[in-house]
Amino acid sequence: MNIVVTGASKGIGRAVAEGFARKFPGCHLILSARRMHETMAWQGALSERHGCRISAFDADLSKREGVEAFADHVLQACDAVDVLVNNAGFFEPGSVHDEPEGTLARMLDINLFSAYHLTRRLLPAMIAHRSGHVFNICSVAALKAYPNGGAYSISKWALLGFSRNLREEMMPHGIKVTAVHPGATLTASWDGFDIEPSRIMESDDVADMIVAAAGLSPQACVEDILLRPLLGDL
């Protein structure tokens, strides 16, 4: 089983990689992040514990050349991708009327275009095999506008639109597409905030749902995964 995860060095991406390794021992994990080389210790431990093969790649997916380089790496590492988790993303709070010039372009580059261009490069082989599952990590911000969401929220709405359109296109080819909408999750996006642990989800919560959805029968597709903290959004 060949599983591609972007933004895999920490947070949800790392939890997803670890979740697939536990559920599918011996799988091939193809991981990217801007500083993936800094995680060699946990990669080695994960591989030893679950017998998985890991192909790690440093890539800045906010840049088109980074996406293309990683896509080339993936296509050299395997014949076709079974699971693609487009997790690379970035949060920057702000409001449309006064956020710095260029904020929307930055948000779109990493939160939308990285997933769009990488998926397009990997789809031909998936279509040829008539199988595969694409997960796009959207957000509750893609479902409801909220104060201080600004360009981030816009980019996640766009990612959801991409997910829904892609799902319709891929149905005849046997390829599933799932949009994942996590609420507040303990990741680097919340660094610096003083948050009561009971008010925020864990990365493993999101990862467990993705792994479960990937393990369903070929004729079943989870179209959307929506998770929020029990006590509501922050």
**215, pLDDT greater than 90:** yes
DSSP type of residue 220: -
Instruction: Convert the pLDDT of each residue in 72-131 to its tens digit.
Output: 999 999 999 999 999 999 888 878 888 889 989 999 999 999 999 999 999 999 999 999
Helix (H, G, I), strand (E, B) or coil at 50: helix
Fold of domain 2-227: Rossmann fold (3.40.50)
- pTM for the full predicted model: 0.93
CB proximity list for 3: less than 8 A, separation 6 or greater: 17, 20, 24, 27, 28, 29, 30, 81, 82, 83, 85
Q: Give the pLDDT score at 190.
A: 56
Catalytic option among 70, 152, 157, 162: 152
Closest CA to 27 of 66, 78, 68: 78
Task: List the domain boundaries for the chain.
Answer: 2-227
Query: Is 152 in the active site?
Result: yes
